[in-house]
Amino acid sequence: MAEINLLDTYPKENRDVEGRFRQITEEHHKIARQFGEEFFDGDRLVGYGGYVYDGRWGSIVKRFRDHYGLTSESSILDIGCAKGFMLHDFQRIIPGIRVAGIDISAYAIANAKESVKAFVRVGDAKELSFPDKSFDLVVSITTLHNLPIKECKQAIREVQRVSRKHAFITLDSWRNTYECERMIKWNLTALTYMSVEDWKKLFTEVGYTGDYYWFIP
């Protein structure tokens, strides 16, 4: 288990934390947590503000490939795959790799990239429909913290269960008071968020031995 930033090549975004905090209401949170069309392709105040493919996951896929030694014989599961953009880039960069993805959003799955539609489905992160040790790599990026803490723990156990070799998850977190305040103001959907040290204790509690990193706005 290691703390490692495998998303360091992902394009950085200038976030107006204070500006958004002044505008969002409980209704915005409610809409965002439905993970429907408005969250993905509606107003920026309730989600992505337009979730479209632009190839940005390609550099991340290469980082995963090199770090975990992935080949055309490997398999990967993306928990919280959204429209399957990262899985599409896995197929593009590592031809022959076996991909699978689940997401709670029926809208995202219905609007997934055509190249991966056969491999993604609506699913529940805390009760994965895959046998033990099914995948060489299981990833979940900024997803599992959207569950209440009891369900979040179960979902992390599920990541551990279906991973044959490697796992990598990222979660909302903070290292100090300043980052904590920014997280609370920026958060739209997370129901479980805590300090870096508390997440590490949780990993030990649930028996998670994979890699991890943090989303800190």
Q: Are residues 24 and 91 in the same domain?
A: no
Cβ atoms of residues 138 and 167 within 8 Å: yes
Residue 3 lies in a domain: no
Residue 29 lies in a domain: yes
Of 28, 52, 76, which marks where a domain is finished? 52
Residue 11 lies in a domain: no
Can you name the residues that pair with 212 across neighbouring β-strands? 3, 169
Q: Are residues 158 and 195 in the same domain?
A: yes
Q: Are residues 63 and 98 in the same domain?
A: yes
Q: How confident is the model at residue 11 (pLDDT cuts 50, 70, 90)?
A: confident
Residue 8 lies in a domain: no
% of the chain with per-residue pLDDT over 90: 96
Q: Are residues 167 and 101 in the same domain?
A: yes
Sequential DSSP letters for 138-163: EEEES-GGGS-HHHHHHHHHHHHHHE
Distance CA 8, CA 21 (A): 26
For residue 31, give its domain range.
16-52
Q: Which residues of 148-184 are buried (b: 16+ CB within 10 A; e: fewer)?
A: eeebbbbbbebbbebbeebbbbbbbbbeeeebbebbe
Residue 1: is its pLDDT beyond 90?
no
Q: Are residues 82 and 180 in the same domain?
A: yes
Quote the pLDDT of residue 14: 84
N residues, the chain: 217
The pLDDT tens digits for 129-158 are: 999 999 999 999 999 999 999 999 999 999
Residue type, 197: E
Residue 48 lies in a domain: yes
Q: Which residues, 6 or more positions from 80, have their beta carbon under 8 angstroms from its beta carbon? A: 102, 103, 104, 125, 140, 141, 142, 143, 144
Average pLDDT over residues 95-118: 98
For 65, 69, 91, 169, 192, the CA distances from 73, given in Å and listed in that order, are 12, 11, 12, 22, 35
Q: Check which CATH number belongs to the domain holding 109 and give it.
A: 3.40.50.150
Residue 12: is its pLDDT beyond 90?
no
Residue 15: is its pLDDT beyond 90?
no
On the CB side of 189, CA atoms within 13 Å amount to: 20
Residue 178 lies in a domain: yes
> How many domains in the chain?
2
